[in-house]
């Protein structure tokens, strides 16, 4: 019997007979569906089961169970969220295209319609496509899934349900697979669930991942929590009862629910605050749920009247919701036993959205139907993902950009007109500029933070009002990538620099290939045109510019390309020609090594690194010894007579440890028109201190001038350049 016949049989059979054909786990799902779906919608889901069961027949999971039990379990998780029939159909069929012969997107479209087929295709991995590495395959699969999610949010809901059931049954996997899957869940899927406001699902994913990655730590913390609950259960019950009674006295009908933090949340707090379990005091929490928003603030007053609040621990996420739509009042109180108690106050609707996020009150949302706060914010985030992927250079780069955006810690900032923007923790003024608009970021020159003029690298904190100063001639700088943290800013800057770098790469690649050809007695101009065209065709390059750019960026070795291009390979190499000369304008396709910080005037050597392009080192750098083991990657380089720009270097300065010494040294450096990028203490005692200054200079003569000026200070004992 084919799928169509099975469907016909299921549709025409009496309801009781059809029910008899279903296994017990499907009957349990039907019972859940009947609580909120129409009979026709229930039959649609059961039709998907018939096709899915037949497609997966003979397949088993590593636990030995029939494979179909997994898709049905995924559908149960989706049904717990009261999602629509199409989503549940896709949940049951989500592995059929990938794992089952004869099932295609077109066949699903014919049986279940475009929406279900698109949902299944969005979740399907790209196992049949060949990638350079597992990392690239994972990133491309993730990219496809996110783009499908941007078209239809239900794709991610299915994927999260799929991942949750896989985590619940993780023990069937090998130890290495358990750790890999758990780490991926913790780094990617749990943060996505949080970004979509699905806190209940997020918490379970985190807890299961923590248990798989660190079983001993999880067991120890869980045991300590259980022991503590036993000791303090009576105190917590009294607090809940006292709060309930006082709220009732104040005319508020509220539910007071006690809760205990999970082992993973306590573990994160121990790590983040560097505390032992005994020092993590706010293990207990209380949630107060009321009917109206105004009652939230009344309940807050009641709670603060009963127990003293901790200073600086109140947060109003109702007035300023989190980026995922979460709303609640947070405060921490001193309980009767002296232990802090975390209190959350919210309405019934806020509670549902806090637990389920975008899946709360779900009737499949279209652009014309009203959405909850989490759904609206998810759409804004997804639109940002679409913008990022258009500019990202690769799937891996896109995945890294998304990971940056998934961190839960945020700062809330205001535009001069009162608009609220949420940015990742440690965001700077450039991140803010790009959050306002890409054009604002591209032309930013400074920022006014609370009306005070600040540089663009200034880190921002919640509550500040930020205004960006722009200029038509301004443009993104490569060093901005060192201190931006948001994916939108990073992607936009990279996109601009790639366009700018392309011309630089072609020019540098031309010089490098020309030198390599000259070394074997040839030249680019003398190369036969048919030899060049044959090489480009064999390497799937459309034009010479692509080859030159690849050489400059380290993707191809100039010496190897030269030998392959030049037909007369047996000819003995000519005497080495001049080195490739550096003018300082090639920063987009050339890196000056951080290990030795070469500056104009230093003897230098180049090393081609895939992804970084040409990396310039001092010839005395300790790393050069290792590089010479790969002679094909070594490039002879030298400075042009006139070099442009400022170059980073480091000075180790021994000083007397006295008040004002840092300012004295900084002033001496400033007198020479050198910019200070960073200062750190290496060693320090009551008598002396060792400082490491990272500064910018134009050339060695400029550096010598800086060092002479520093030595004149009576607080300075020695000055040494750090160069390897």
Residues carrying an active site annotation: 98-99
| Burial bucket for residue 408 (CB in 10 Å: 0-12, 13-18, 19+) | middle
Q: In this structure, are residues 486 and 435 in contact, taking their beta carbons and an 8 Å threshold?
A: yes
Q: Which long-range contacts (CB under 8 A, 24 or more apart) does 167-176 make?
A: 167/204, 167/205, 167/208, 167/209, 167/212, 168/73, 168/208, 169/61, 169/63, 169/70, 170/208, 170/212, 172/61, 172/62, 172/63, 173/62
DSSP class of residue 493 equals H
Long-range contacts of 618-626 (CB under 8 A, 24+ apart): 618/593, 618/723, 618/724, 620/596, 620/723, 620/724, 621/593, 621/595, 621/596, 621/723, 621/724, 622/595, 622/724, 623/593, 623/595, 623/596, 623/724
Write the CA distances from 639 to 247, 347, 395, 649, integer angstroms. Answer: 77, 68, 36, 17
Could you tell me the sign of the dihedral formed by the alpha carbons of 638, 644, 648, 651, in that order? Answer: positive
Q: In whole angstroms, what is the distance from residue 340 CA to residue 349 CA?
A: 27
Residue 447 has phi, psi (to 5 degrees) of -140, 145
Please state the φ and ψ torsions of residue 549, each to the nearest 5 degrees. -65, -40
Would you give the end-to-end CA distance of the chain in angstroms? 73
Residue with tokens 């996110």: 146
Greatest CA separation found in the chain? Answer: 100
| 712-to-243, 671, 709 alpha-carbon distances in Å | 69, 12, 5
Q: Of 614, 512, 605, whose CA–CA distance to 560 is shortest? A: 512
What does the chain come to in residues? 724
Q: Compute φ and ψ for 287, nearest 5 degrees.
A: -115, 125
336 CB-near residues (< 8 Å, 6+ apart): 235, 238, 239, 307
Residues 6 or more apart in contact with residue 697 via CB below 8 angstroms: 599, 646, 647, 649, 674, 703, 706
| Cα dihedral: 520, 522, 528, 532 (round 10) | 50
Quote the distance between the C-alpha of residue 645 and its chain's center. Answer: 33
Instruction: Please say whether the beta carbons of 335 and 237 come within 8 A.
Output: no
Distance of CA 489 to the CA centre of its chain: 13
CB 327 within 8 A of CB 376: no
Q: How do beta strands 637-639 and 580-582 pair? A: parallel
């Amino acid at each position: 019997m084919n799928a169509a016949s099975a469907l016909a049989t299921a549709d025409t059979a009496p309801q009781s007979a059809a029910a008899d054909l279903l296994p017990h786990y499907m009957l349990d799902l039907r019972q859940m569906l009947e609580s909120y779906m129409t009979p026709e919608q229930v039959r649609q889901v059961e039709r998907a089961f018939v096709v899915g069961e037949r497609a997966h027949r003979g397949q088993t999971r590593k636990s030995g169970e029939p494979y179909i039990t997994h898709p049905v379990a995924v559908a149960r998780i989706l049904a717990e969220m009261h999602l629509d029939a199409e989503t549940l159909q896709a949940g049951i069929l989500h592995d059929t295209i990938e794992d089952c012969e004869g099932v295609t997107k077109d066949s699903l479209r014919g049986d279940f319609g475009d929406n279900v087929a698109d949902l299944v295709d969005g979740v399907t991995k790209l196992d049949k496509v060949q990638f350079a590495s597992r990392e690239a395959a994972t990133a491309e699969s993730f990219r496809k899934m996110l783009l499908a999610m941007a078209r239809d949010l239900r794709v991610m809901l299915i994927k999260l349900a799929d991942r949750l059931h896989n985590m619940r049954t993780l023990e069937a996997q090998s130890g290495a697979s358990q750790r890999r899957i758990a780490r991926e869940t913790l780094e990617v899927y749990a943060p996505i669930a949080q970004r979509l406001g699905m806190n209940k699902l997020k918490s379970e994913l985190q807890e299961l991942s923590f248990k798989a990655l660190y079983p001993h730590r999880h067991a120890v913390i869980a045991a300590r929590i259980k022991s503590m609950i036993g000791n303090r259960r009576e105190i917590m019950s009294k607090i809940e009862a006292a709060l309930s009674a006082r709220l009732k006295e104040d005319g508020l009908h509220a539910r007071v629910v006690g809760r205990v933090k999970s082992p993973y949340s306590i573990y994160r707090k121990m790590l983040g605050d560097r505390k032992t379990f005994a020092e993590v005091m706010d293990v207990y929490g209380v949630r107060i749920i009321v009917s109206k928003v105004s009652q939230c603030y009344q309940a807050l007053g009641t709670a603060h009247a009963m127990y003293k609040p901790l200073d600086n621990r109140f947060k109003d996420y109702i007035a300023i919701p989190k980026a995922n739509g979460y709303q609640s009042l947070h405060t921490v109180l001193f309980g009767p036993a002296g232990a802090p108690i975390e209190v959350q106050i919210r309405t019934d609707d806020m509670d549902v959205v806090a637990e389920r996020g975008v899946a709360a009150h779900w009737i499949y949302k279209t652009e014309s139907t009203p959405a909850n706060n989490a759904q609206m914010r998810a759409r804004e985030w997804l639109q940002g993902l679409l913008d990022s992927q258009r500019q990202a250079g690769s799937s891996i780069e896109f995945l890294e950009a998304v990971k940056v955006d998934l961190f839960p810690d945020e700062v809330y900032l205001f535009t001069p007109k009162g608009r609220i923007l949420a940015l990742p923790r440690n965001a700077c003024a450039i991140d803010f500029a790009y959050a306002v608009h890409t054009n604002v970021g591209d032309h930013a020159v400074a920022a006014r933070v609370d009306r005070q003029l600040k540089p663009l690298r200034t880190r921002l904190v919640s509550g500040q009002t930020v205004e960006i100063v722009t200029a038509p001639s301004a443009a993104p700088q490569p060093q901005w990538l060192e201190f931006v943290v948001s994916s939108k800013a990073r992607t936009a800057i990279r996109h601009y620099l790639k366009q700018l770098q392309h011309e630089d790469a072609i020019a540098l690649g031309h010089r490098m290939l020309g030198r390599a050809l000259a070394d074997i007695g040839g030249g680019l101009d003398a190369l036969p045109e048919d030899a060049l065209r044959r090489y480009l065709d064999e390497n799937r390059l459309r034009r010479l510019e692509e080859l030159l750019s690849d050489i400059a960026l380290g993707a191809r070795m100039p010496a190897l390309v030269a030998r392959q291009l030049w037909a007369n390979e047996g000819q003995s190499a000519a005497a080495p020609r001049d080195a490739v000369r550096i003018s300082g304008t090639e920063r987009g396709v050339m890196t000056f090594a951080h290990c030795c910080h070469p500056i104009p005037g230093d003897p230098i050597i180049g090393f081609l690194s895939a992804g970084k392009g040409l990396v310039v080192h001092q010839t005395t750098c300790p790393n050069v010894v290792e590089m010479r083991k790969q002679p094909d990657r070594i490039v002879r380089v030298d400075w042009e007579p006139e070099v442009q720009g400022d170059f980073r270097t480091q000075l180790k300065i021994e000083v007397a440890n006295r008040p004002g010494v840092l300012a004295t040294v900084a002033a001496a450096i400033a007198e020479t028109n050198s910019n200070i990028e960073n200062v750190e203490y290496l060693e320090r005692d009551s008598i002396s201190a060792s400082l490491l200054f990272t500064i910018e200079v134009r050339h060695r003569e400029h550096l010598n001038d800086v060092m002479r000026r520093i030595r004149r200070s009576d607080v300075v004992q020695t000055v040494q350049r750090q160069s390897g």
